A and B are shown apart, each in its own frame.
Chain A
Amino acid sequence: MNAIDRKVQPMELVCPAGTPAALRTAVDAGADSVYVGFRDETNARNFPGLNFSRPELEAGIAYAHAKGAKVLVAINTYPRAGDMGPWHRAVADAAALGADAVILADMGLCAHTAEHHPELRRHLSVQASASNPAAIRFYQAAFGVKRVVLPRVLTVDQIRALNREIEVETEVFVFGGLCTMAEGRCVLSGYVTGISPNKDGACSPASHVRYEDQGDKLVARLGGMCVDQFPTGSPAGYPTLCKGRYVTGNDDKAAYLFEEPTSLSMIEHLPALQAAGVRALKIEGRQRGRAYVGRVVQAFREAVDDVAAGLPPNARDLMALAEGGRGTEGAYRKAWQ
């Protein structure tokens, strides 16, 4: 067989499902895997109205498995001292309900799972922020982790170099919300609101958001603090702390010091990620509605298959779905750092 004709195995497309309806939509649109969480603080999208009860997960797994898709359960917050029961129960229930893998961040929970559910496949969450071969080899040796979701701090070149040095699979984010800080290593939200991703599974929570109309402008506040201001009549963004505008000594004008309110979009760079040895692609957005999930998953399904067949990916009109209508390659591009 001619090497040029050979079709490589497509990268696995891992898609968000915040609700049972979104799970079915993602599976129908061509997801290889969906990732979900229980309806509590054990996962990093602990938002009102989202996530799965135990019976919902059971039905969701049955639906996905019937169509050849896998279900990964994110249990990726850090268990509370003296109260690790909810996290241990989440792992046990994911195993009992037939989940294909759990996505974990906490070392203690990794150790617990390896000991009590050795047959349950373990992925390392982005919230563990394993950004180098030594850290990844450590998680593999200590807890038998089979796949690591890479933090969004690496360039494509760095991912390629990393994959040459490790045995476990890598999964990278390709679309959706974008952390500017190393994931799992940011307590900005806790500093301002008392609620943080690691402890509570939420960042810049909606419960602490307030928009204040001052006549000529709208002030977007989080926990009472001004995160951004918008002229009256123009669209107002959500006050995520790392996407706000601030003033530093260098410049009297407010600027997006950390990051602009953009979304990650890597659809055009899928060939480079495949060449870098990436095994799975992750779409962010368990908080998104099923219409959004359906469109994004369908676009990526086609793109991933095209790339595996050696064709260029079709970027289509995904940008309309991106935050602020703008996409960025984020840290995958060297100049970002």
Chain B
Amino acid sequence: MNAALPERTALTLGPVLFNWAPETWRDFYLRIADEAAVDTVVLGEVVCSKRAPLYGVHLPAVASRLKAAGKEVVFATLALVIGPRDLELVEALCGADALIEANDVSALGHLRGRPHAIGPMINVYNEGTLAWLASNGARRICLPPELSADSIEQLGSVAIDREVLAFGRLPLAVSARCYHARSRGLTKNTCQYACDADADGMAVETMEGESFVAVNGMQTLSHACANLLGDVDDLQRRGVRRLRLSPQKVDMVAVAQVFRDRLDGTLAADESLERLEDLAPDLPFTNGFYHHAEGSAWVPARG
């Protein structure tokens, strides 16, 4: 080996997208603080403003514990901002003395001229948009899941840290309508928090019994789980130095360790993939978008 060792690739734990019970949510992050090999943790409610107060009481303590454990803590904004309650949440968050990850354009005016991050729910497809966001103060971006490897590489022409979603269900859509509520004959206003029944989202199948998506309130996620373990060398070649792991109802501490060991070279590609399969035996994997295929596809590593 004569090539210089690449700069270390960091791991980010994305925000919990699902409506977990407040104590479950708190305990999940306390364990992350103590045990997980992640560098950055993104906290906050991305999907539905009605959920934010539920675990909000635990938020300050969780953030403190994560920081005390040496993690960088970032706060994410809502993705779909409609009513006054949504706007108040975004405004309050952007007013805080913290690193904010914007998931809706409504946050960008507040964050102008201040270092901040861009989340995967803001449409960034090209270097023109990315350069503009960088001029507005963005320092890091978690790219939309739809981007291919070529696009991810092209975006490297802008001086901003690129992060790529490497594990977890893909966020496919948001809607003003809550499908959890609708599936029970309710509406968003009368939802009775129907979404708390499905810790990993509500399974949605076709009429032929094929798994399709997972509904998470107003959000629709892929059934298949992103997995770019086999693509980490390629990602590094394309200048990506940060990967995001999105929380699922699997052992996320173990998932993070697999990625860390693979990135550090202490775990071979084949072996790391087998470990991940053992950790999430019921989840099909996907890396289709990265390989310029349909997003549900699995493209095995070459060679």
Contact = CB atoms under 8 A, between A and B. Distances in A.
Contact of A246 (B81, B150, B212, B289): B212
Given A139-B105, A247-B204, A133 B87 contact: yes
Nearest to A131: B82
A135 B102 CA distance: 12
Nearest to A223: B294
A337 B146 contact: no
A192 B173 CA distance: 13
A6 B184 CA distance: 48
Contact of A154 (B104, B136, B176, B177): B176
Given A80-B125, A185-B80, A337-B188, A107 B132 contact: yes
Interface residues of A, number: 70
B68 interface: no
Interface string A109-153: 101100000000000000010111111011101100000000001
A288 B41 CA distance: 48
A156 to B, nearest CB: 13
B125 A194 contact: no
Given A80-B151, A181-B175, A225 B125 contact: no
Interface residues of B, number: 75
Contact of B206 (A133, A246, A334): A246
Contacts of B83: 158
Interface in B90-143: 90-91, 104-110, 121, 123, 125-133, 136
B52 interface: no
B109 A138 contact: yes
Contact of A247 (B126, B188, B207, B296): B207
A226 B292 CA distance: 23
Interface string A185-202: 111101111101011000
Contact of B172 (A184, A187, A337): A187
Contacts of B110: 134
Interface in B255-288: 288
Given A81-B150, A182-B80, A182-B173, A106 B182 contact: no
B207 A81 contact: no
B295 interface: yes
Nearest to B155: A81
A205 to B, nearest CB: 12
B189 to A, nearest CB: 7
Nearest to B151: A81
Determine which residue in B107, B176, B182, B183 has the highest number of CB atoms from chain A within 10 A of its CB, and name it.
B176
B193 to A, nearest CB: 15
A1 interface: no
B61 interface: no
A317 interface: no
A135 B103 CA distance: 11
B64 interface: no
A215 B260 CA distance: 53
Given A82-B151, A198-B123, A335-B187, A226 B174 contact: no
A134 B177 contact: no
Nearest to A130: B105
Contacts of B184: 250
Given A138-B106, A185-B123, A108 B132 contact: yes
A257 B194 CA distance: 14
B20 interface: no
B16 interface: no
B169 to A, nearest CB: 11
Interface of A: 78-82, 84, 105-109, 111-112, 128, 130-135, 137-139, 141-142, 153-154, 158, 180-182, 184-188, 190-194, 196, 198-199, 219, 223, 225-229, 242, 244-251, 254-255, 257-259, 331, 334-337
Given A132-B82, A132-B104, A180-B177, 6 more contacts: A80-B151, A153-B82, A185-B79, A188-B213, A246-B207, A246-B212
8 contacts: A81-B147, A84-B127, A108-B130, A134-B91, A185-B79, A191-B170, A251-B183, A254-B207
